[in-house]
Chain A
Amino acid sequence: MGRMAEMRLPSPLRRALAQHARDAWPEEACGLLVGVGGAPREVVRLANVAGDPLRRYALDPLEYMRVEHAAERRGLGVAGVWHSHPDGGAEPSETDRRAAWPGWLYVIVGLQGEGQHCIRGWRLVANEFVEEELHAEQS
Chain B
Amino acid sequence: MQSNRERAPRVTVRIPPPLRPHAGDQPSLSVTGATVGEVLACLARDYPDLGQRLLTPEGRVRPYVNVFVGEQSMTARGGPESAVADGDVIAIIPAVAGG
Contact = CB atoms under 8 A, between A and B. Distances in A.
Contacts of B73: 61-62
Nearest to A83: B98
Contact of B95 (A92, A99, A103, A104): A99
B90 to A, nearest CB: 11
A103 B99 contact: no
A70 to B, nearest CB: 13
Nearest to A108: B98
A66 B34 CA distance: 25
Interface in A64-106: 64-65, 68-69, 72, 77-78, 81, 83, 92-96, 99-104, 106
Contact of B97 (A56, A69, A77): A56
B9 to A, nearest CB: 21
A93 B71 contact: no
Interface string B74-99: 00000000000000000101111111
Interface string B46-80: 00000000000000000010101001010000000
5 contacts: A59-B96, A62-B68, A92-B98, A94-B99, A101-B94
Interface of B: 14, 16-18, 21, 27, 64, 66, 68, 71, 73, 91, 93-99
Given A61-B68, A65-B71, 14 more contacts: A28-B99, A32-B96, A55-B99, A56-B98, A56-B99, A62-B68, A62-B71, A65-B91, A68-B14, A81-B96, A99-B64, A101-B18, A103-B18, A103-B21
